[in-house]
Homo-oligomer: A and B are copies of this chain.
Amino acid sequence: MPVAVIAGVGLTAFGRQPGLGVRDLAQAAAVAAVTDAGIPLDRVAAVVVGNATQGATEGQHGIRGQIALSGLGLSPGPVINVENACASGTTALHVALAYVLSGMADVVLAVGVEVMTQAPHPDLLAAFEGSWDVADREAALDRLADFSRGVPVPSDAVELPGRTVFMDVYAAFARDHMRRFGTTQRQFAAVSAKNHAHSMHNPYAQYRKAFSIDEVLCGKTVLWPLTVPMCSPISDGAAAVVVCSADLADPARAVRVLGTALGHGGGWDGVDPQRHVSHQTALRAYAEAGVDPRDVDVAEVHDATAVGEIQQVEHMGLVPYGDGGPAAERGVTTVGGRIPVNPSGGLESRGHPIGATGLAQVHELVTQLRGEAGARQVDGARIALAENSGGLVGLEEAAVAVTVLEAPSRRRS
């Protein structure tokens, strides 16, 4: 049975990239990844491409990946287009791993790409809303309203028009967390301030500007308790990862995938968080990896908003339930703290080009595990965790991906 490793990673800058389309970004990330792996493009035996919005925004369906990568000089093997909403990138990685482990291909390129800033806004909203069950929207909104009960909203709180529906979802999740655990708006702000500080040192990040906790709190309100700096922006960008059998990779730079779980379902009944699909998927990934949450040295989690990070560090078992907010305030999740989370800046500050996000997390963690993360390096990181989710996670059917990675067996640094 082959052993699969991540041999190379590639990333474009995230953010507003006028004039660059899906093809430009996807090809740039693909070339960067194979260059990093030291494997020629024509040696790639299969490609898996994740994208979430190009159907809705550009009318490009069908064979998006083939079209995005045409002219690049790939071998004539499989190109598989995958989608799992905001988890599309990690889903591409998952399929790439299956290919390599199956022996069906020895070198597989996973690419995630999204162009969002140049799309007509109504179409982009349609793409977002299409990642819910479109026939069940009213019921989902009713369940969201339930989450918001019992949390007083300041009488002067305004709402940002034109926001995506996911901001309403996260605002409801935030109020739910406040009611159950006493989490404060200041703690949400602490998460965001931390992530914005991290991405000061990330050359790929959309934002490289520090915000104090008070500055985050003073940001424009999107929907209480969320302010603009707490929310992931609209972004363009691409990320790519080369997965191959271990014998084809440089052992000093290859990162081993210890565990990878992709889950679906809902499970959040408002009572027992351990039944939540995120927690259940994490348990499967840890079991496969043979590690414990305490073994994790660094994590990238899906902070589409600050509350997302708090929920996920709890579901991943990195901090106890209810301690996500206080832990951020105490600096536990800051680089230099006990368990640094989102050293890249996360979705909030690195940016969130949907299909690219999961692979951008892997890019960051591979960089960390190789000891090449510069000023944002987590010292001595050996075990890393990525969590990437799509859909109304917990509330109805959704996709959750958890990946556990290990540092190169013969890391030089």
Interface residues of A (CB under 8 A from B): 1, 21, 46, 52-53, 55-56, 58-64, 66-67, 70, 74, 76-85, 91, 94-95, 97-104, 126-127, 129-135, 262-265, 277, 280-281, 390-391, 396-399
Smallest CB–CB gap between A279 and chain B, Å?
A: 11
Closest residue on chain B to residue A108 by CB atoms: B98
Chain B residues with Cβ under 8 A from A132's Cβ? Answer: 62
Smallest CB–CB gap between A95 and chain B, Å?
A: 6
Are A84 and B80 in contact (CB-based, < 8 A)? yes
Chain B residues with Cβ under 8 A from A21's Cβ? Answer: 135
Given A62-B84, A62-B391, A102-B102: A55 in contact with B130 (beta carbons within 8 A): yes
Q: List 9 A-B contacts (CB under 8 A).
A: A1-B103, A62-B84, A62-B131, A63-B399, A66-B399, A77-B263, A78-B94, A79-B262, A97-B104
Smallest CB–CB gap between A147 and chain B, Å?
A: 20
Given A61-B56, A101-B103, A397-B63: A78 in contact with B391 (beta carbons within 8 A): no
Chain B residues with Cβ under 8 A from A280's Cβ? Answer: 76
Chain B residues with Cβ under 8 A from A83's Cβ? Answer: 61-64, 81-83
| Neighbour of A66 across the interface among B52, B62, B264, CB < 8 A | B264
Chain B residues with Cβ under 8 A from A80's Cβ? Answer: 82, 84, 91, 94-95, 262
Chain B residues with Cβ under 8 A from A102's Cβ? Answer: 97-102
Chain B residues with Cβ under 8 A from A62's Cβ? Answer: 52, 83-85, 130-132, 390-391
Q: Is the interface of A mostly helix, strand, loop or mixed?
A: mixed
Are A104 and B104 in contact (CB-based, < 8 A)? no
Smallest CB–CB gap between A62 and chain B, Å?
A: 3
Residue among A55, A56, A264 with max Cβ neighbours from chain B (10 Å): A264
Chain B residues with Cβ under 8 A from A82's Cβ? Answer: 80-83
Chain B residues with Cβ under 8 A from A66's Cβ? Answer: 264-265, 391, 397-399
Q: Which 8 A-B pairs have the closest CB atoms?
A: A62-B131, A101-B102, A61-B130, A62-B85, A78-B262, A66-B397, A102-B102, A98-B98
A135–B67 CA distance with the chains assembled, in angstroms: 10
Chain B residues with Cβ under 8 A from A58's Cβ? Answer: 134
A82–B79 CA distance with the chains assembled, in angstroms: 11
A131–B61 CA distance with the chains assembled, in angstroms: 5
Chain B residues with Cβ under 8 A from A127's Cβ? Answer: 61
Chain B residues with Cβ under 8 A from A104's Cβ? Answer: 97-98, 101
Given A66-B397, A101-B102, A397-B67: A130 in contact with B76 (beta carbons within 8 A): no
A47–B355 CA distance with the chains assembled, in angstroms: 20
A374–B61 CA distance with the chains assembled, in angstroms: 38
A21–B135 CA distance with the chains assembled, in angstroms: 11
Are B391 and A76 in contact (CB-based, < 8 A)? no
Smallest CB–CB gap between A407 and chain B, Å?
A: 23
A100–B91 CA distance with the chains assembled, in angstroms: 16
Residue among A99, A102, A265, A396 with max Cβ neighbours from chain B (10 Å): A102
A55–B97 CA distance with the chains assembled, in angstroms: 27
Closest residue on chain B to residue A94 by CB atoms: B78
A21–B82 CA distance with the chains assembled, in angstroms: 22
A130–B63 CA distance with the chains assembled, in angstroms: 9
Closest residue on chain B to residue A263 by CB atoms: B76
Are B264 and A78 in contact (CB-based, < 8 A)? yes
A53–B46 CA distance with the chains assembled, in angstroms: 24
Are A55 and B63 in contact (CB-based, < 8 A)? no
Q: A55-B55, A101-B104 are in contact. List 8 more A-B contacts (CB 8 A).
A: A59-B134, A63-B85, A67-B133, A76-B277, A76-B281, A79-B264, A80-B84, A101-B102
Chain B residues with Cβ under 8 A from A277's Cβ? Answer: 76
Chain B residues with Cβ under 8 A from A134's Cβ? Answer: 58-60
Closest residue on chain B to residue A74 by CB atoms: B264
